[in-house]
Amino acid sequence: MEDVVSTISRKANLRVVMVPSPGRGHLIPFVELSKRLLLRHNFAITILIPDNGSDMIPQRQFLQSLNLPPTISPLYLPPVSLSDLPSDADSITRVPLTVIRSLPAIRDAIINLQHSGEGLCGRVVAVVVDFLGADALQVATQLQIPPYVFYTCSAFHLTLGLNAPQLLHPTHQEDSTKLLKLPGCIPLLGADLPEPYIDKKKDAYKWMVHSHERISSDAVGIIINSFVDLESDIFKALTEERFRTGSGPTVYPIGPLKRLDSDEDLNQFSNESIDCLEWLDKQPESSVLLISFGSGIGARQSKAQFDELAHGLAMSGKRFIWVVKPPGNDVVPWNSSFLPEGFLKKTKGVGLVIPDWVPQIRILSHGSTGGFMSHCGWNSSLESITNGVPVLAWPQHADQKMNAALLVEDAKVALRVDQSSGEDGIVGREEIARYVKAVLDGDEAKLLRKKMRELKVAANNATGNDGSSTKSLDEVANLWKNQNPY
C-alpha cells in the first residue's frame, strides 16, 4: 500500500466516479480497479456506495481495513427503502432497484464533485458502474460524462447476458442436459445456467435482461475483470460482433485485478485465523487443501451435506484448512457441536477448522497450499489462478456453475464435484475423499498443477507493463484523459 499512498504527492487533477452494487463481493474488484487507476494513471477516485438498508457494517469495516489514501474516497449514499418488495425477493431484483432509487443521490453527488473541482477532487472524466446497476449510466449521459460499465464477472457470463433473449429457449431451462451454444464459448449445460436465467417469467430474469440491454444501449465501454488468455475465443467473438454491427460498447479486458498479501490487514482477523499461517509454515509443499465457500448465500450447506463433507475430509487423511459456516439456513453463531462427533479428534494435527474470515490471499499464495475447494465465485476463481492453485470446484448458485465449467472444461485447471450422483443431491463422504485425494495427489493433480502454473504465468504477463490487460487499461484511461471517448 506504500505505493498507493506515495501517489498522493502527485496532484490528481482528473476524477473517476465508481458506482458498485451493494455487497462486499462486488466492492472488492471496484477497490482493486481504483487502486490500479491511481497507481498507473494518477486518477482520483470516488466510490459511491448505494445502501438498501441492509447491514452496511461489513462493507465499512472492509474499506477501513484497507487504509486507502485520500485520493480513493468512499462516499455512502443515503439509504433507500425496499420495504415494498416481497420478503423473498432475490438480490438480482433488489440490487438494480437499490441503484434506481439512488439515482437522485448519485446525480447530486457527481454534480457536487464537479463543482468542487479543486486540489485532489479534480473534474469528473468518467462514471463507471456495476453491471447490475446499469441504470446509473443514464445519469452520466445526462451530465455529459462518458458512461462505462465494470463487469465483475466473466466474459462467459457477459456473453450469456447479451445473448439470452435471442438464444435462450425454454428447452434450455426445462432440460438440464440441453446445451446452449453462445458465441465463442464452450457449450453450456442447462443445469449450469445461473438461477436468473432458469425461468423467463420471474422478475430476476427480467432484471438481468434489462441490465444487459442498458449496457448495450447506454455504455461507451465495458471494463471487465478477466484476461485474454483465459477467455480468448469469447473476447474475439465479442470484438467481431461489435465490428459486424458497427455499434455497442467496446470491451476492455483489464484483469485479473490481483490483491496482494500486503492488502490483507491481519488486524481484521481473529488470532485463530492468523495462527493458521504459522501452521501452514510447518506443512509440506502443496499438501494442504483450503475449503471455503465464500460469504454469500451458497456458503451454508445443509446439515446432511455438511456432515458428509466433514467425514470425507477425515477419510481422505489429507491436510486441510476448512473455513466453516453453521449448516442450514438459520443464521446462528458457530459452535463446534455442529461437527460430527469425534471429527476434531480424528483430524487433530492434520486439519484446521476456522469459523471466521481467513487471510485467503496469504493462504493461497503459501507454498504449502496445494488445492482450493471453492464455490467458484469469480473473485475466488481469479485468486486461484493468480496464485497458481488448482481448484476443486463445488459451485452453489449465481454464475458459479458457469465459472466451474470454464475452469474445468476450457482452462482444465480444476476438478468438479458431481452433485448429481448422490441421493437428494448429497455428495457422499467416499466421493468427497476421492476428490480431495485427486486434487492433491497423483498424476491428475500433477497435470492440474502444471496447467494452473501456466495460467498463472499468463495472468501475470497480462498485467505486466507490456501485458494485454495493462494495454487495455491504458487505452481506456487515455480516452478519459483526452476527454474524447466517443
Q: Residues with catalytic annotation?
A: 26, 130
**Within 10 Å of residue 78's Cβ, how many Cβ atoms?**
12
Q: Which of 128, 138, 134 is nearest to 162 (CA)?
A: 134
Instruction: Report helix, strand or coil for 164.
Output: helix
DSSP 267-303: GGS-HHHHHHHHHHHTSPTT-EEEEE--SSGGG---H
- Rounded Cα–Cα distance for residues 62 and 47 (Å): 14
Classify 238 as helix, strand or coil: helix
Secondary structure (DSSP) of 341-363? TTHHHHTTTTEEEE-S---HHHH
> Measuring CA to CA, how many Å separate 390 from each of 225, 291, 365, 400, 454?
20, 12, 12, 16, 11
Phi, psi torsion values for 407, nearest 5 degrees = -70, -35
| Angle of helix 155-167 versus helix 203-218 axis, rounded to 10 | 110
310/8 Cα distance (integer angstroms): 49
